[in-house]
Structure 1
Amino acid sequence: MARNETRRNRTGPRTVADTASRLTHRRYGNRPTMKDVAARAGVGLKTVSRVVNGEPGVTPDTERRVQEAIEALGFRRNDSARVLRKGRTASIGLVLEDLADPFYGPLSRAVEEVARAHGALLINGSSAEDPERERELALALCARRVDGLVIIPAGTDQRYLEPEIKAGVATVFVDRPAGGIDADVVLSDSFGGARDGVAHLIAHGHRRIGFIGDQPRIHTATERLRGYRAAMEDAGLPVHEDWVSLGSTAPGRVRVAAEAMLTGAEPVTAVFAGNNRVTVTVVRVLAAQPRPVALVGFDDFELADLLRPGVTVIAQDAALLGRTAAHRLFARLDGDAGPPARTQLATRLIPRGSGELPPAP
């Protein structure tokens, strides 16, 4: 026992950096280190660190020498040691609604590019529009010690994240705000975009306009319905309840809703579709109609411009949504302690023909 005490006193207490170094040696053996790179390049250790971590303050010539030494030695940055030293994992989580939805591809890619620029790995998953699955996925990512989360909420209550946020997990919501907590959020102007789209139909002579949207518990669906009603009210037009349908975006449900609006006692002459999945099904329904029916959809989608007529849409910039949310997240990780911010991005009307069709006689 005395011998062990003497050994501890002689070596002194181990620091976190010491532990990181020992673990690194055990795992990686004789792999080249930053010291090896510094010696080969003829620079200081701090200079190598700046180059490896993309920090400023290094001349182009010095950076070139360091990069050449890195390539010659086969040096790879040891992220395990960085985690132990800094308490961060250099990873973030992204919780999407549906990975198969084309809207989320550009958004996910934009988040990934920002993460990569910050030297972080992105881990993503789909909630499948299930609040319980959203909760399980978000908490599983936290259990794996991601530094931050970007979440498109499926549910209306995100209070389950309060302990994680208090523990330091930076969290930004995108496309829809969080429920029950005050947090950073980046949104498209769903209300304004829908109002503009419906006003466009009204300007082309339509008075009986239907609205088919997503489930009423979803923020974007209710905001787009609110925009539809506002445009109709601004024009002094009534809204018959038979002209409004919210629910699942499954093709079968949307088809039934569209056909009911087109064949009712007062059939609509135009349809405003609440998202891209709804729009695609409505396009198929309208193709079988004996009379032309105008259409404006919220969200652009692939090949919309190649249809005849092309589909008029309210476009939102999914990549900008993702990029803005990711930049906000890394600002938090870098120490921004300001109050939660709400960022709203503008939408854009793209007329292509379907929204400019006049009412059928």
Structure 2
Amino acid sequence: MTARRGSGPTMLDVGKLAQVSAMTVSRVLKNDPGVSDSTRERVYAAVDQLGYRRNQTARSLRLGGSGMIGLVVTNLANPFYSRLALGVQEVATQYGLRMLLSNSGEQADREPELIDGLVDHQVEGLIVVPAGSRQQHLARAMRHVPVVFAARPPAGLDTDCVLVEDFHGAREATACLLAEGHTRVAFLGNPPALYTGAERLRGFWAAHEEIGIAPDHALIRQGLVDSATAEQAALDLLGQAEPPTALFCTNNRISQGAIRALYKAGTTLPLAGFDDFDLSDVLGLPLTLVSYDADEIGRQAARLLIDRLEHHDTAPPASRRISVPTRVVRHGTPSGQQPGRPPADA
């Protein structure tokens, strides 16, 4: 086996000769203790035979490639997307790849320009958190580079995605409130057109149905886009003649807006929500938060993308969907109150 003309041998070349993946080659070269001795010997033999030098060619998994991958997120000010980006960068760095980061600001009409710009910069592939359900521009991009979706699924496109267990997490957190006797739980959610908003409302609704009650439509607020809109919605709910006795929020910004509303209203209600956040454990409020590893979403998305890059000369693998698990974290539970038991898995 010889290296491709015009370039030095790559991790992919070493992997093919050693009959392992490029990811395994990277693990061997980083002295990962989880790699078997026999595999390690095959990789080092291939490195010697090909004259592979990591600092020479590991930046590119494809002949003529730029050694860069693109990441498009919807709101870099949200810590969730910052953590996701760190996860992508962690895996990209392992393969000698650089990451170009773009922020759509939840503006679906801006996203096509960002995608085209990254493709024009000859990125090897793209990881995208789509801002909307219209994704024709991503279908066009897929003619040139592989695209992996993160946090939100593709709409009618055949490609990989990494999601959070949105439905399960929302159902479990809501069930905790219901188990404590709350039957008037308000729902504060992001726009219903977003996958996360729809799935978390579905989980909220399912938890009610499982105990034989229906949510009060008068307590449901959707379309909240930041902490300010969430604060105002929560204040409106708290000012009703029959206010809610607990709140469910679909993301960290909405939770923070609701907490500010509780403070201004001079009251304390149990609050459940998606995304743990800094200082949640020291606020002294009864919080039930859906936690998950946002970095892992980025890591998994990057691994899927790199796997597609490794198979660019062969038939592409079938599209894959990975779900990152959630868990409920409870803070400030009133003394003597026992958290409700979560429901069985879906």
TM-score by length of 1: 0.76
Letter in 1 for 2:328: L
Q: Quote the residue 1:175 is aligned against.
A: 151
Q: Which has the larger radius of gyration?
A: 1
Q: Which runs of 5+ in 1 are unaligned?
A: 1-14, 22-49
Give 1:46's aligned residue: none
Deviation of 1:155 (Å): 1.1
Find the partner of 2:44 among 47, 58, 67.
58
Kept in 1, the 8 Å contact 2:150–2:297? The answer is yes
Question: What is the aligned partner in structure 2 of residue 197 from structure 1?
Answer: 173
- The equivalent of 1:106 in structure 2 is 83
Q: Which secondary structure state, in structure 2, belongs to the residue aligned with residue 150 of structure 1?
A: strand
In the alignment, structure 1 residue 163 sits paired with structure 2 residue 149: no
Aligned to 2:329: 350
2:336 and 2:117 mapped to 1: Cα distance?
49
Q: Which among 97, 106, 110 is matched to residue 120 of structure 1?
A: 97
Superposition pairs of residues 129-278 of structure 1, within 5 angstroms: 129-167=106-144, 169-278=145-254
Q: Is the 8 A contact 1:189 1:346 kept in 2?
A: yes
Secondary structure at 1:95 match in 2: strand
Offset from partner CA, 1:107-138 (integer Å, 9 cap, x none): 11110010011111100110100112122111
Partner of 2:301, secondary structure, is helix
RMSD: 3.1
Cα distance in 2, alignment partners of residues 77 and 357 from structure 1: 62
Q: AA paired with 1:140? A: G
Q: Which amino acid aligns with 2:324?
A: L
Runs of at least 5 residues in structure 2 that lack an aligned partner in the other structure: 9-24, 31-39, 338-346
* Cα deviations by residue, 1:138-167 (Å, 9 ceiling, x for unpaired): 111011111111100101021222233233
CA contact (8 A) 2:270 2:287 kept: no
Moved more, 115-124 or 348-357: 348-357
- What SS does the aligned partner of 2:192 have? coil
Taking a change above 3 Å as real, the CA distance of residues 113 and 252 of structure 1, as seen in their structure-2 partners, is closer
Separation (CA, whole Å) in 1 of partners of 2:102 and 2:186: 34
How far apart, CA to CA, are the structure 2 residues paired with 1:315 and 1:356?
Answer: 23
AA aligned opposite 2:128: I
Large movers: runs of 4+ above 4 Å: 53-56, 354-358
* Preserved contact between residue 295 and residue 311 of structure 1 (Cα < 8 Å): yes
Supply the AA of the counterpart residue of 2:215: V
Q: CA deviation at 1:356?
A: 8.9
Between the aligned partners of 1:274 and 1:248, the Cα distance in structure 2 is 9
Cα distance in 2 between the residues matched to 1:79 and 1:312: 44
Q: Following the alignment from structure 1 to structure 2, what is the Cα–Cα distance between the partners of residues 327 and 78?
A: 19
The answer to whether the 8 Å contact 2:224/2:254 transfers is no
The structure carrying a bigger helix percent of its residues is 1
> Structure 1 residues 76 and 234, CA, compared in 2 at 3 Å: closer, same or farther?
closer
- Cα gap change, 1:355/1:174 in structure 2, threshold over 3 Å: closer, same or farther? farther
Deviations along 1:64-119, one digit per CA (max 9) or x if unpaired, are xx99xx9xxxx963789x69x81322110000111111111221111001001111
Count of residue pairs the alignment pairs up: 301
**Per-residue deviation at 1:288?**
3.1
**Native 8 Å contact 2:281 2:332 kept in 1:** no
Identity value in percent: 34
CA deviations over 1:169-227 (Å, ceiling 9, x no partner): 11110100122312211100101100001000001110100000111111101110111
TM-score (norm 2): 0.79
* Whole-Å separation in 2 of the counterparts to 1:161 and 1:176: 13
Give the equivalent residue in structure 1 for 2:307.
331
2:67 is aligned with 1:90: yes
